[in-house]
């Protein structure tokens, strides 16, 4: 596939914090305007983001790795960098992205040429990053998803209709054909082709974590909960708690279970301090709307207070420490905490989650 590299580079990107696990597809729906270059899709993407309130003063801009229009693919962000297309640092790091435009049709419609270009792009990204393009079985394991599915399946990003009527199933099957003909569903693939992290099967990592007393959902996704439990295991066995599975951690996972030392007494519940933000506001990513307070531009002390209380409950912040900034580590802990306590699982710290950090039973 021919990618026009460097034709419209943007500086709106940052380092990845996760291994690429798949493709997220966007569509800049618009009326038919023949002759528009693909870079217009990326400009329109920014305009839409402005309307959605995603580009806040002092916050990050919006970008995608490539723009695709009727057979033309223009790269805007290096593939080894994180594009800012989902207003969600975790999923932006997980994905390579494409913003699609269609100058030969109206609205959400995409031409056959554009669908083919998208499939070629998906296949190329699968080759480069070593993931299997599929939409079979558990939706949480899909590696080709539309923007709205980041929200509807994983609870990330924000509610959107994007990518509209894009035929994601056709694109995925076509990408599989490009990669070598029809292939069986992921469940029937050889073990080596199942989702891996640094070459180690994620399913095995998650099962072995449970064996060692650090349970995590066996969903073949190396997400925040798995990362957190790997760090806890690494600390317990005297390894560097980086949350990644390398040779030493893999050896520990496959080794004998360490006898646990008695745990520290758990703190008792107490009355929560008043939630420090106005009604309708919450602690969340700095890429979010104005109501999302990240600690970067204020209220850092209060966010430190929340993180310190979570640490007293046993949640781990060893990657960045109690820094009072909303990032991947805090979001992962909050999601796991919300799931544990039966709260709304969105990774955001509103009044309910804030109060639960002090008042919910410690388990």
| CATH code, domain with 50 | 3.40.80.10
Same domain, 169 and 34: yes
Is residue 178 a part of any domain in this protein? Answer: yes
Distances from the Cα of 98 to the Cα of 35, 77, 227, angstroms? 20, 10, 27
Same domain, 22 and 146: yes
Domain region containing 84 = 3-188
Same domain, 171 and 208: no
Same domain, 25 and 121: yes
Same domain, 175 and 318: no
**What does pTM read for this prediction?**
0.47
Alpha-carbon Rg for the chain, nearest whole angstrom, is: 21
Is residue 266 a part of any domain in this protein? Answer: no
Q: How many domains does the chain have?
A: 3
| pLDDT confidence of residue 88 | 81
**pLDDT tens digit sequence for 198-211:** 678 888 999 999 88
Q: Which of 162, 188, 214 marks a domain boundary?
A: 188
Is residue 264 a part of any domain in this protein? Answer: no
Q: Which of 169, 188, 207 marks a domain boundary?
A: 188
Cα separation, 78 vs 80, in Å, equals: 6
Same domain, 180 and 201: no
Q: Is the dihedral of CA 223, 229, 233, 238 positive or negative?
A: positive
| pLDDT confidence of residue 11 | 57
**pLDDT tens digit sequence for 266-311:** 556 678 999 999 999 999 998 889 899 999 888 999 999 999 999 8
Same domain, 74 and 145: yes
Average pLDDT over the chain, rounded to an integer: 78
Beta pairing, strands 72-75 & 3-4: parallel
Same domain, 62 and 109: yes
Residue 85: name the closest of 123, 41, 122 by CA.
Answer: 41
Cα separation, 230 vs 53, in Å, equals: 36
Buried-state track 133-169, b at ≥16 Cβ within 10 A, e below 16: bbbbeeeebbbbbbbbbbbeebebbbebebbbebebe
Is residue 268 a part of any domain in this protein? Answer: no
| pLDDT confidence of residue 219 | 75
| pLDDT confidence of residue 268 | 60
Confidence of residue 151 (pLDDT cuts 50, 70, 90): confident
Is residue 273 a part of any domain in this protein? Answer: no
Same domain, 288 and 207: no
Cα separation, 292 vs 326, in Å, equals: 10
Q: CA 248: distance to chain centroid?
A: 26
Same domain, 25 and 153: yes
| pLDDT confidence of residue 267 | 58
Distances from the Cα of 96 to the Cα of 127, 128, 174, 215, angstroms? 12, 11, 18, 29
| pLDDT confidence of residue 349 | 96
Same domain, 143 and 91: yes
Is residue 244 a part of any domain in this protein? Answer: yes
Q: Which helix (H) or strand (E) holds 116?
A: helix 112-129
Is residue 263 a part of any domain in this protein? Answer: no
Between 232 and 107, residue with greater pLDDT: 232
Q: Is the dihedral of CA 173, 177, 182, 187 positive or negative?
A: negative
HSE toward the beta carbon, residue 153, CA cutoff 13 A: 19
Q: Is the pLDDT of residue 42 over 70?
A: no
Same domain, 117 and 226: no
Is residue 133 a part of any domain in this protein? Answer: yes
> Which CATH number goes with the domain that contains 228?
1.10.101
Tokens linked to 150: 């980041």
Q: Which of 148, 164, 188 marks a domain boundary?
A: 188
Tracing tokens 């990408």 back to the chain, one arrives at 175
């Amino acid at each position: 596939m021919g990618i026009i590299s460097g034709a419209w580079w943007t500086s709106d990107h940052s380092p990845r914090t996760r291994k690429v696990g798949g493709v997220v597809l966007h569509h800049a729906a618009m009326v038919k305007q023949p002759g528009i270059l693909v870079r217009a899709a990326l400009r329109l993407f920014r305009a839409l983001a402005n309307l959605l309130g995603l580009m806040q003063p002092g916050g990050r801009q919006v970008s995608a790795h490539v723009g695709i229009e009727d057979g033309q693919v223009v790269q805007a962000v290096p593939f080894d960098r994180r594009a800012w297309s989902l207003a969600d640092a975790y999923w932006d790091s997980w994905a390579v992205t494409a913003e699609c435009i269609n100058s030969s049709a109206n609205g959400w419609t995409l031409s056959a040429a554009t669908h083919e270009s998208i499939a070629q792009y998906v296949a190329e990204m699968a080759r480069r990053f070593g993931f299997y393009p599929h939409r079979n079985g558990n939706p949480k394991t899909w590696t080709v998803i539309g923007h709205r599915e980041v929200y509807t399946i994983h609870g990330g990003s924000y509610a959107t209709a994007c990518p509209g009527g894009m035929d994601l199933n056709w694109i995925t099957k076509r990408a599989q054909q490009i990669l070598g003909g029809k292939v069986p569903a992921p469940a029937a693939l050889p073990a080596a082709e199942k989702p891996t992290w640094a070459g180690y099967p994620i399913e095995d990592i998650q099962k072995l974590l449970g064996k060692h007393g650090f349970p995590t959902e066996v969903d073949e996704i190396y997400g925040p909960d798995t990362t957190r439990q790997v760090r806890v295991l690494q600390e317990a066995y005297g390894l560097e708690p980086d949350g990644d599975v390398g040779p030493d951690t893999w050896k520990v996972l496959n080794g004998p279970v360490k006898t646990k030392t008695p745990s520290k007494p758990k703190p008792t519940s107490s009355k929560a301090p008043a939630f420090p933000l106005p009604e309708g506001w919450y602690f969340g990513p700095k890429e979010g709307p104005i109501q999302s307070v990240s600690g970067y531009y204020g209220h850092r002390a209060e966010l430190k207070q929340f993180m310190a209380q979570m640490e007293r409950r046993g949640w781990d912040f060893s990657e960045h420490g109690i820094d009072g900034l909303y990032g991947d580590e805090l979001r992962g802990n909050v999601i796991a905490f919300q799931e544990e306590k039966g709260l709304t699982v969105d990774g955001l710290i509103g009044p309910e989650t804030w109060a639960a950090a002090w008042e919910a039973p410690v388990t």
